[in-house]
Amino acid sequence: MPPLAPARDPVTDVRSGTTRSGPDRPDHDIPDTTMTTDPCLPTPEDRLPAARDWDDAFANMAHVANSHELPGFWSARAARYREEMLAAGHRLELDIAYGEHPREAYDLVWPEGEPRGLAVFVHGGYWMRLDKSFWTDFAEGARANGWVVCLPSYTLTPDARISEITAQIGRALAHVAERVAGPIRLAGHSAGGHLVTRMLCADGPLSREVRQRVEHTLSISGLHDLRPLLHTRMNDTLHLDLAEARAESAILGEPVHGAPLTCWVGGGERPEFIRQARLLADVWGGLDVPATAHVDGDHNHFTVLEGLKDPASRITAAFTGTSRQKDRKGETPMTVMEPGIVKSREGLDNISWNILGQTYVPKQKTEDCFSWHATFPPGTFVPPHIHPDQDEFLYILEGRFTFLLDGKELIGEPGDLVKLPRGIPHGIFNKTDGTIKTLFWVTPSGPLYDLFWELHNMGPEADPAEIVAVSAAHAIDFLPPEDSEAAS
């Protein structure tokens, strides 16, 4: 491939990873932004002048050598993946319409066996380039981990405003959520990162029912503050004004869903993308969203995505919550667990659930084992129930538990290990005036993690019948109410 012209800053070849030079960008005038009638917004005369070259700040391709070849490379690779998958008998559904516009369509890539849930990847391109067909092969990591992967297209600017594209993605999610059951995990790249984070905002387009199924959102190199785009030449196509830029900036939005958010960005990206990743994690973290920012090595804006094709990569684990690698014989898939220590005041992704009046903090989760710290206030309990496919354990840290185990009442105190075998009915009660703390774990994990999100999102006023139904759908069977009352 011929090298591009020299650049002011060193750049990295997207395929080889070698450092080269990219094209220089001349200085240019900053276009005026559209006037707004909102009296609370500053007029153009009141606004601060742009103090930096915002075109260069967002110029990803200009800082990656031979990037002009990437769209053709992506398209050919994705087409080859689709051909190979179909030839091997894998299930792909293409061009499923979710609206009337030709670009209102999505593809589904199905896993083998029963799906774990729905994983959605929303592409980037500054809302004005590309479509779903460029990214099919990036579904492989999630597909291999058992997820149905949805890749939606949307109308591009200037044919649609960014706010209208946000509404389109909401309609796509509503449509596919009716086709695929289970938890939903969202991911988006660049402009797609903007679109998936907007799904979590109070003024976002998702219904409460669909939003409650979202258990994690991964914004990859996402755009979370759109106001700087007012100072770019691309705004000639985006047609953003200050009012829309503010309304569509996730950092200025009010998150209404407490599921974890991960802002993932390459360490070799333009500094503005690193800033925006950290910014959203900081802002939403202050609004009680379990939000983290992760800078991934020296990846640029495009190589940062490559791990999505690998079922065992860290970014796939962030996307799906699971990651697989082969065992020593190269045969049996097993879950990756990172070595280390989880500190006493830390938990998984800073999650804290309110479950039936108790506080649960997940500590570690793989497919083989799931552990969490639990705090039981006085008078709280878990009614008698059965885990058909899991063994459950408690190590009591503080307080005195009363257990109903297979019809017998037992007492557990600090230092005791409590064994609750699969298939055996058991209830867990705090009948004391003090708070009890304990460490739980189950093996295998099963869908318990997903159930805790469902129960947490229901809130304290949830209908008991709905709790029982949701639990049964996640392989936890509560006993009839009279059994629970007798034990309490």
Q: Is residue 49 part of a domain?
A: no
Query: 3 in a domain, yes or no?
Result: no
Residue 417 and residue 269 in one domain: no
Helix (H) or strand (E) holding 335: strand 333-335
What is d(CA 363, CA 51) in angstroms, rounded to the nearest whole number?
Answer: 45
- H or E segment and range at residue 218: strand 214-220
Question: Taking a C-beta distance cutoff of 8 angstroms, is the pair 379, 430 a contact?
Answer: yes
Q: Would residue 92 count as lying in a domain? A: yes
Domain assignment of residue 180, yes or no: yes
Assess whether 98 and 149 both reside in one domain.
yes
Q: Give pTM, 2 decimals.
A: 0.62
80 vs 352: CA distance, rounded Å: 43
Range of the domain at 111: 54-326
Give me the number of domains the chain comprises: 2
How far apart CA 279 and CA 260 sit, in angstroms, is 15
The CA angle 301-59-197, to the nearest 5 degrees, is 55
- What's the confidence (pLDDT) of residue 460? 66
Which residues are CB-neighbours of 160 under 8 A, at least 6 positions away?
154, 168
Judge if 364 and 322 occupy the same domain. Answer: no
> Is the pLDDT confidence value at 485 over 50?
no
**pLDDT value of position 50:** 61
Domain end call among 326, 359, 378: 326
Residue 246 within a domain = yes
State the CATH number of the domain containing residue 186.
Answer: 3.40.50.1820
Q: Break the chain down into helix, strand, coil percent, rounded to 5.
A: 30, 25, 45
Q: What is the CATH number of the domain that holds 460?
A: 2.60.120.10
Rounded CA separation 437/49 (Å): 56
Question: What integer best gives the mean pLDDT of the chain?
Answer: 85
Same domain, yes or no: 90 and 139: yes
* E strands present in 356-474: 358-365, 370-376, 381-386, 391-398, 401-405, 408-412, 417-420, 426-429, 436-443
pLDDT value at residue 39: 54
Q: d(Cα 380, Cα 372) in Å, to the nearest integer?
A: 17
Q: How confident is the model at residue 428 (pLDDT cuts 50, 70, 90)?
A: very high
Give domain status of residue 183, yes or no: yes
Q: How confident is the model at residue 19 (pLDDT cuts 50, 70, 90)?
A: very low
Query: Which uninterrupted H or E stretch holds 10?
Result: strand 10-12
Q: With residue 163 as reference, give the H or E element that holds it.
A: helix 162-179
Position 13 in a domain: no
The predicted-structure confidence for 224-252, as pLDDT tens digits, reads as follows 999 999 999 999 999 999 999 999 999 99
In a domain, 121, yes or no: yes
Is the same domain home to 358 and 320? no
pLDDT tens-digit readout, 441-476: 999 988 898 888 888 877 667 788 888 888 888 889
Question: Last residue of some domain: 326, 361, 390?
Answer: 326
What confidence score (pLDDT) does residue 345 get? 81
Give the distance from CA 235 to its chain's centroid.
28
First-to-last alpha carbon distance for the chain, in angstroms, is: 74
